[in-house]
Structure formats: structure tokens, C-alpha cells
């Protein structure tokens, strides 16, 4: 995004009814002003909402200069971010996968030769009880 100069900053803030007495005193220190120096007017002028300036630059200005969050922090994913409607076992599987675990790792599909009456194939279950 492009940088806004002091005159654009002034126009945007005045269009929303801000009193910029800090800018009136010293135009060269526009980069060093703080949020305490920019004070909201007691009331909005009648024509303050007729501005053709988009609200986006002022929002960008405030977040760019007065944000406290660091840009280098990693965001940890949650199950709701991946699949918001996941419930039950599906949710447990997604949660384990996001944590780097594999909840169904020990439950593998049986591989041939499939069982006979004498030596049946044993299939592990996710549940601790038999489900019929």
C-alpha cells in the first residue's frame, strides 16, 4: 500500500471531524504524533460526512501507526478454521491432525491374506467396547 503524506492525513482526519491542533503547531513532526495528540471534536460539523474520501485510508493509517501487535507471530489453526461444522470423531481427528498427532495411526486396514476360521484377521477398533 502507498504511504500517505501529511496533507492527505490531515484531509482524512478533518473529514471525520477530528481536531488536529498538533498538526497546526508543527507540520514537520507528523510522523511523531501520538494518538493522544489527535483528539475527537465535541460535535461533528454538518458537512463532515459529505467527504468523498474513502474510510479505508484512515483505517489503514490508524492500524499502520498505532498498532501494538507484532507481525512475526504465527497464528495457530483451530478446528473451527479448517472445518467449522466438524463434530464428534471427525472433530477429534482434525484436532489431533492439527496438533501433529495421528489419532487413528494404530487402526490400519487389514492387508491380505484375509482371515480364515482357523486364523482370523484381527481388526483394531477405535472404540474400547464391541459395537454390534
Helix (H) / strand (E) element for 39: namely: strand 39-40
Q: What is the 3-state secondary structure (H, E, C) of 7-30?
A: HHHHHHHHHCCEECHHHHHCHHHH
Q: Name the least confident of 34-38, 109-113, 117-121.
A: 34-38
Indicate the domain borders of the chain: 6-66, 74-132
Contacts of 55 (CB under 8 A, 6+ apart): 16
Rg of the Cα atoms in the chain: 30
**Average pLDDT of the residues of the chain:** 65
Q: Tell me: the pLDDT tens digits for 6-57?
A: 777 777 766 666 665 554 554 444 444 444 444 444 454 555 555 455 555 5
Whole-number pLDDT of residue 45: 52
pTM for this prediction: 0.28
Residue holding cell 484375509? Answer: 114
Yes or no: say if 12 and 53 are a contact pair by the CB < 8 Å rule.
yes
Amino acid at each position: 500500500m502507498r504511504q500517505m503524506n501529511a496533507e492527505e492525513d490531515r484531509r482524512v482526519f478533518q473529514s471525520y471531524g477530528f481536531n488536529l491542533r498538533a498538526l497546526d503547531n508543527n507540520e514537520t513532526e507528523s510522523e511523531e504524533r501520538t494518538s493522544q495528540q489527535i483528539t475527537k471534536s465535541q460535535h461533528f460539523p454538518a458537512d463532515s460526512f459529505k467527504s468523498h474520501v474513502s474510510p479505508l485510508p484512515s483505517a489503514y493509517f490508524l492500524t499502520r501507526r498505532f498498532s501494538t501487535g507484532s507481525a512475526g507471530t504465527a497464528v495457530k489453526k483451530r478446528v473451527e478454521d479448517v472445518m467449522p461444522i466438524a463434530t464428534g470423531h471427525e472433530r477429534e481427528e482434525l484436532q489431533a491432525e492439527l496438533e501433529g498427532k495421528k489419532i487413528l495411526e494404530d487402526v490400519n486396514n487389514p492387508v491380505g491374506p484375509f482371515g480364515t476360521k482357523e486364523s482370523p484377521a484381527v481388526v483394531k477398533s477405535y472404540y474400547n467396547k464391541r459395537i454390534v
